[in-house]
Chains A and B, each alone.
Chain A
Amino acid sequence: MSDPANITLVTMDGTTFTVPSAYLHRSKLVQDWLRSEGDKQAMEVKHVTPFVLQGVLNFCEIHAEDTSEPLADPADPTKPFEADPRDDAFRGMPDDQLLQFTMAADILQIPELVRLTAQEMASRIDGKSPDQIRAMFNPDDLAEEDVDSDNEMGEVGEEGAISK
């Protein structure tokens, strides 16, 4: 039986992180898991690398005591986005890392982090031509990789990127 005050998360390569459950109160995935399978030893987060999970947990720790209401929709137009200096680490991040964080936020269903990373990605698209965006995301190559990577689900990609 796991400690109800803490939660252990296991990444794709087996690395474990044990943090107070309260840090992850904004993660719908974790909250659902705690309700249904909270008696298990650890929650697997298969598609997230240790580096990215560490960053996500840092975000959750920084915002653990925020009193704002949880976001239902990351793109809720009635709740305008306000830059928070505590999140500056995401702003200087390389594009590929930021994408991994966007995906991890979506997997863990943390609307506040989804909004932060999506907003940052959108600002990087700002003013770019289709060619410049292609160079940034390289989606055509990635579309080919999609087919190949189906057989490699869960493997760590080059330089820590995720192969889905």
Chain B
Amino acid sequence: MRSPTLPPEILTQIFKHVDPTRDLLSCCLVQSMWCDCALPLIERAPTELLLDPHEMPRLRRTASLITEAAVTAPRVLHAIRGVTVNLDYLFDYLPDGRCVLDTAASDTLVSILLPLSSLQDLHLSRPNHTHHIQVLRPFLQQLSSLGATLTHTSITNCGHPHTPDDDPSHPVADFLLTFSQLTSLTLTHLVAGDSMARSLFQLHKLHSLYLYDVSFPTPTHPLRIPLTRWRHLNTLHIQHPDPFLQTLTTLAVACPITLCHLYIVAPPHSYDVVNPAVHLLLQRLPALRTLALIGFATLAHLDVLSPLFCNCPQLELLDLTDCSSLPDHSMPLTSLWPYLRALRISGCTAMNGELVLEVLSRCERLEEVELTMHVGCHLPVSAALKRRGFMFDGEERPPMGSGWRWKRE
């Protein structure tokens, strides 16, 4: 029985429902027109190609497709720009309890990854971080040639949760050394030792750096010197820095003055006195457009933020969520931010509304305000917000502890 010829628009509709991690690659190899329709979907969803060595038959099938594509349709390999690899299944336990690399899974993964000559995004994920990271060294060494093209990468759980893996050096740190073009790096759940610090130091093209739950317990604090070398660094996210105060102090002396977006989420239950470090840090950052200091419970004087009022004319977003000790009376305002679009001060329980009123009166472009409840209830504040055309965004009375968001129509 003959089937009707499928026009490209129908093929595209079908391909949008096809599992991009497995079957889209097969579709690419069916026929030239199929490849034309499937390739844009592969390019648009670059990080969807999840390679899970736990499912070896599927992985072998992907490897075989990649091999076939290398011969019959090399453009498919160029279209795959991003891959997510779950490293957890590369570990194998021997009967004597030793943990070794599953070489079959490792070889299959390498045979898939190495032909991807245009790979830009590589995401290595290790949800279970009880395995010994050194076991991965041969696998990562085989992938070193990928580093020449990678621009974005994220590495999750690739370090021991309690002690740095520096014996003899961190295999992920060595892997990072090959990433000469890297512009964006995300590290999550890592205790970074000296080798990791040295690797970060080499990534001089970094544009964005995201460090989530990364601690630097060794004397060679990686942020001490490298930040000055990262002269292209535009965005820095640090969540739960450890040690908190030392990281802030380091940033205060070494942050590149061109930094535009700075997000720092304080570790929970941290009572380090951070006022001088924050003050110094803000003095160094005249180009800031986004500043988020979240959960700085000991930030107790508005004077600390005075550099912001004087030195940061381009500020667009100020987020001081959960800075619970920060008051807003006697504000040292000399000038304010003409480009400010959003102010977030929910959880700032020591404020009484002066900052909001001042910002409302001076910042013409303000579009979004998030307030703690008692400030939101403050009559002059709510009246001023309504006068400026702001409306509640969300529930009329949000639950206790959450922010009251107002948006301008």
Residues of A within 8 A of B (CB): 74-75, 81, 94-96, 99-100, 102-103, 106, 114-115, 118-119, 121-123, 125-130, 133-134, 137-140, 142-143, 145-146, 149, 157-159, 161-164
* Residues of chain B contacted by A134 (CB below 8 angstroms): 30-31
* Residues of chain A contacted by B224 (CB below 8 angstroms): none
Report the separation of the CA atoms of residues A48 and B4 in the bound assembly, to the nearest whole angstrom. 11
Give 10 new A-B contacts, CB below 8 A, not counting A106-B13, A122-B17, A130-B26. A75-B17, A103-B10, A122-B23, A137-B3, A139-B30, A142-B2, A143-B31, A161-B4, A162-B4, A164-B5
State whether B2 touches A158 (Cβ < 8 A): yes
Report the separation of the CA atoms of residues A140 and B22 in the bound assembly, to the nearest whole angstrom. 22
Tell me, rounded to whole Å, the shortest Cβ–Cβ distance linking B131 to chain A: 30
State whether B4 touches A100 (Cβ < 8 A): yes
Q: Is B68 an interface residue (CB 8 A)?
A: yes
**Residue in A96, A102, A130 whose CB lies within 8 Å of B2:** A96
* Residues of chain A contacted by B29 (CB below 8 angstroms): 130
Q: Is B14 an interface residue (CB 8 A)?
A: yes
Chain B interface size, under 10 / 10 to 19 / 20 to 34 / 35 or more: 20 to 34
**Residue in B2, B18, B27, B65 whose CB lies within 8 Å of A161:** B2
Tell me, rounded to whole Å, the shortest Cβ–Cβ distance linking A145 to chain B: 7
* Residues of chain B contacted by A123 (CB below 8 angstroms): 17
Q: Is B400 an interface residue (CB 8 A)?
A: no
**Residue in B3, B16, B23, B61 whose CB lies within 8 Å of A118:** B16
Report the separation of the CA atoms of residues A159 and B1 in the bound assembly, to the nearest whole angstrom. 7
* Among A114, A129, A149, residue most surrounded by chain B Cβ atoms (within 10 Å): A129
> Which 3 interchain pairs have the tightest Cβ spacing?
A75-B16, A122-B17, A130-B29
**Residue in B1, B4, B22 whose CB lies within 8 Å of A164:** B4
Q: Is B34 an interface residue (CB 8 A)?
A: yes
Q: Is B19 an interface residue (CB 8 A)?
A: yes
* Residues of chain A contacted by B16 (CB below 8 angstroms): 74-75, 118
State whether A99 touches B23 (Cβ < 8 A): no
**Residue in B10, B23, B68 whose CB lies within 8 Å of A102:** B10
Question: Which residues of B5-44 have CB atoms within 8 Å of chain A's CB atoms?
Answer: 5-7, 9-10, 13-19, 22-23, 26-27, 29-31, 33-34
